[in-house]
Amino acid sequence: MQYHFHAPIITFHDTSLSDLAQLTVPVALVVIPSEQKAAWLQSDAGHDLALADSLGRPLERQVGAQWQQLVFLPEQPVKGTKLYQSIRDAAALVANLPCSELALHLEGFTPAAATLLSELLLQALLSARIPLPSSKHGSEPRPVFTTIHCSPAVTLSLPALLGEVEGNGLARHLAAMPASELGASQYRQRVRELAAKEGWHCHEWDQRELALRGAGAFLAVARGAEDDGAAIVHLRYAPANAGSKVALVGKGICHDSGGYNLKINGGMYGMHLDMGGSAVALGTLLAISRAGLPIEVDCWLAIAENHIGPRAFRPSEVVTAANGKTIEVVDTDAEGRMVLADTLVLAAEQAPDLLIDYATLTGACKRALGSRYSGLFCNRPEWLAELVEIGQHSGERVWPFPLDEDYDDTLKSDWADLLQCAPGASCDHIDAARFLSHFVPATLPWLHIDLSGFRHKGGHGVVSSEITGFGVRLTLALLAQSRFIANRAV
């Protein structure tokens, strides 16, 4: 179950629709403005199509040796949920066909619209072709695309486009790996190999080193596992031309049993996805590195398993985190904030310009938002409106929640500096964010993303699989706005 992304050769030509079938490409996706649909169906060329359309069938035709799939998209496309749904639907019409060569032709769009649609369709097509790991017999993976011919000739940054597809694909691949194949040690092995291949600096803070550093919150969770696989893995991509530095932190619980607060009533099923946040951090690093963006990235993966065993941590223990704060444990199933606490402390010590953490953290966030959005917390409230808008445009939507200090009232402990979480019913997604804020200096701009959207039937943005890799695309979109990473002196 190795992850290999095969980037196709993508070429751009100013081919006309009438010349399209002259290309020796068996399948073409032909995109026409929706506003021209009626006229198109009434024309001679559209005669058979009008019948198919009235029957609600895909609009397809054979031209010479070429099979053409027609789709209609808005003449003036605006990035948003509706457009992304149309893009995923359009890509699905051809992504599942067993062809390795494809033509993508846009007819009758302005250069700006053609550029936007080409970019989104290419991303959706390539993402849909990335096979997720499967142990099922007889499931033949579809061939990879070797060549895609695009017309008209638009200008796209292919390294950035392909980097995003590859990074998101990595995040989805790792998340889909079953717990039996991706335990903490196996995950670390993969990360080590990837770092060597990509030329990233890699340091694994193992449990001995973390004990010396006083990372008692992380180690409390690590204790339950039968091996010493848990570690905080630090990766660094440092291009010579870097203008700013970003830290990406991810929760990497390879399997979450809940610990002594054991998950019941089927709640443990699917808990191999609890490392999704770390997969997003790693996938984002890969995307940035492949695109060669001039940003230094410190990526921190909090890799552990939350198990029961003779040494596993228990409610009512008091542990001390790496910044000296003492924590009274309330619920061992709130392990994510424990491993993140120490990881955030280590990440903040490297003085990044911006710190982002990703975690499949709370059921409360999912109850509040469903899986169409992920929860957003930010210690720069004046950024929230713009971040929400970036989410809408990227197709990975985030919605803000408060991070006011007075929420700390529910985290007051009789015996320690902090309660790990509020006993009983509470707005746990906000409590969790407040808890984490005690491990991030107020001077450091920080975003916390509670990944309620990590798993969503139908997908998000340009990605159609249920495991979405939510966060890679959003982060790339927000890092493209330099104001979020040029605030060193805030």
Q: Which is nearer to Zn ion, 119 or 335 (CB)?
A: 335
**Smallest separation, CB 172 to Zn ion (Å):** 21
Tokens 């092995």 -> residue? 189
Residue from 53, 119, 328, 333 in contact with Zn ion (CB under 5 A)? 333
Q: Which is nearer to Zn ion, 166 or 333 (CB)?
A: 333
Q: What proportions of the chain, in percent to the nearest 5, are helix, strand and coil?
A: 40, 20, 40
Using the contact rule CB under 5 A, the part of the chain among 37-45, 115-123, 255-263, 417-425 near Zn ion is 255-263
Q: Is 450 in the site for Zn ion (CB under 5 A)?
A: no
Q: Which is nearer to Zn ion, 116 or 271 (CB)?
A: 271
Selecting among 37, 192, 213, 263, the annotated active-site residue is 263
* Total Cβ atoms within 10 A of residue 375: 26
Please give the structure tokens belonging to residue 5.
């992304």
Using the contact rule CB under 5 A, the part of the chain among 123-131, 279-287, 332-340, 424-432 near Zn ion is 332-340
Please give the structure tokens belonging to residue 41.
């169906």
**Smallest separation, CB 274 to Zn ion (Å):** 7
Residues 8-27 that bind Zn ion (CB under 5 A): none
Q: Is 396 in the site for Zn ion (CB under 5 A)?
A: no
Exposed/middle/buried for 235, CB within 10 Å: 0-12, 13-18, 19+? buried
Interatomic CA distance for residues 392 and 377, integer angstroms: 16
**Smallest separation, CB 335 to Zn ion (Å):** 5
Query: Is residue 382 helix, strand or coil?
Result: helix
**Smallest separation, CB 191 to Zn ion (Å):** 22
Q: Which is nearer to Zn ion, 256 or 305 (CB)?
A: 256
Pairing state between β 446-450 and 318-320? unpaired
Q: Is 256 in the site for Zn ion (CB under 5 A)?
A: yes
Kind and range of the H or E element at 101? strand 101-106
**Smallest separation, CB 306 to Zn ion (Å):** 6
Using the contact rule CB under 5 A, the part of the chain among 157-165, 216-224, 328-336, 366-374 near Zn ion is 328-336
Nearest to 97 by CA among 77, 116, 69, 76: 69
Q: Which is nearer to Zn ion, 166 or 335 (CB)?
A: 335
Cβ–Cβ < 8 Å for 411, 329: no
Residues 282-321: x/- map of binding to Zn ion (CB under 5 A)?
----------------------------------------
CB hemisphere CA count around 188 (13 angstroms): 19
Residues 407-426 that bind Zn ion (CB under 5 A): none
Residue 90 φ/ψ, nearest 5 degrees: -65, -45
Q: Does a cis peptide bond (omega within 30 degrees of 0) precede residue 152?
A: yes
Amino acid occupying residue 289: S
Amino acid occupying residue 205: W
Task: Point out the residue whose Cβ comes nearest to Zn ion.
Answer: 333
Selecting among 337, 397, 434, 473, the annotated active-site residue is 337
Residue 214 φ/ψ, nearest 5 degrees: 80, 30
| End-to-end C-alpha distance for the chain, whole angstroms | 45
Residues 115-144: x/- map of binding to Zn ion (CB under 5 A)?
------------------------------
Interatomic CA distance for residues 70 and 1, integer angstroms: 35
Interatomic CA distance for residues 222 and 386, integer angstroms: 38
How many residues touch Zn ion under the rule CB under 5 A: the total is 3
**Smallest separation, CB 361 to Zn ion (Å):** 9
Using the contact rule CB under 5 A, the part of the chain among 27-35, 158-166, 193-201, 252-260 near Zn ion is 252-260
Q: Which is nearer to Zn ion, 30 or 319 (CB)?
A: 319
Using the contact rule CB under 5 A, the part of the chain among 6-14, 147-155, 325-333, 343-351 near Zn ion is 325-333
Non-local CB neighbours of 44 within 8 Å, separated by 6+ positions: none
**Smallest separation, CB 336 to Zn ion (Å):** 6
Please confirm, yes or no, whether 337 is among the known catalytic residues: yes
Tokens 């390795």 -> residue? 100
**Smallest separation, CB 333 to Zn ion (Å):** 4
Q: Which is nearer to Zn ion, 187 or 383 (CB)?
A: 187
Q: Which is nearer to Zn ion, 77 or 258 (CB)?
A: 258
**Smallest separation, CB 481 to Zn ion (Å):** 33
Instruction: Strands of 135-230 (E only): list them.
Output: 147-151, 201-205
**Smallest separation, CB 263 to Zn ion (Å):** 7
Using the contact rule CB under 5 A, the part of the chain among 39-47, 48-56, 88-96, 331-339 near Zn ion is 331-339
Using the contact rule CB under 5 A, the part of the chain among 75-83, 221-229, 334-342, 373-381 near Zn ion is 334-342
Cβ–Cβ < 8 Å for 323, 436: no
Interatomic CA distance for residues 318 and 216, integer angstroms: 9
Q: Is the dihedral of CA 191, 196, 199, 201 positive or negative?
A: positive
Q: Which is nearer to Zn ion, 79 or 263 (CB)?
A: 263
Question: What is the side-by-side order of every strand in the sheet holding 59-63?
Answer: 9-12, 147-151, 101-106, 27-33, 66-73, 59-63
Kind and range of the H or E element at 392? helix 384-394
Q: Which is nearer to Zn ion, 53 or 333 (CB)?
A: 333
Please confirm, yes or no, whether 367 is among the known catalytic residues: no
Interface residues toward Zn ion, by CB under 5 A: 256, 333, 335
Catalytic residue numbers read 263, 337
